[in-house]
């Protein structure tokens, strides 16, 4: 879950903006739940997949 579309019940602003203490606490909780690998995001996962596929293709295409 991302905080981009969450609306704070305390200040009625987007949680991602962190206007009040409740917003900032929720942002901290969401970041903690995501873990260290979430910083890579979808782009990082796609890049890792592409590099893995390229490595497999090189191993298969290598002459014996």
Domain range list for the chain: 15-61
CB within 8 Å of 3: residues ≥ 6 apart: 14, 15, 16, 26, 27, 30
pLDDT over 60 (residue 34): yes
* Model pLDDT for residues 1-30, shown as the tens digit of each residue: 556 778 888 999 888 888 999 989 988 888
Mean pLDDT score of the chain: 84
| d(C-alpha 55, C-alpha 61), whole Å | 10
Q: Are 13 and 21 in contact (CB under 8 A)?
A: no
């Amino acid at each position: 879950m991302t905080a981009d579309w969450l609306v704070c019940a305390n200040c009625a602003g987007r949680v991602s903006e962190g206007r009040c203490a409740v917003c900032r606490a929720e942002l901290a909780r969401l970041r903690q739940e995501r873990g260290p690998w979430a910083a890579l995001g979808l782009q990082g996962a796609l890049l890792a997949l592409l590099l893995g596929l390229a490595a497999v293709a090189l191993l298969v295409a290598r002459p014996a």
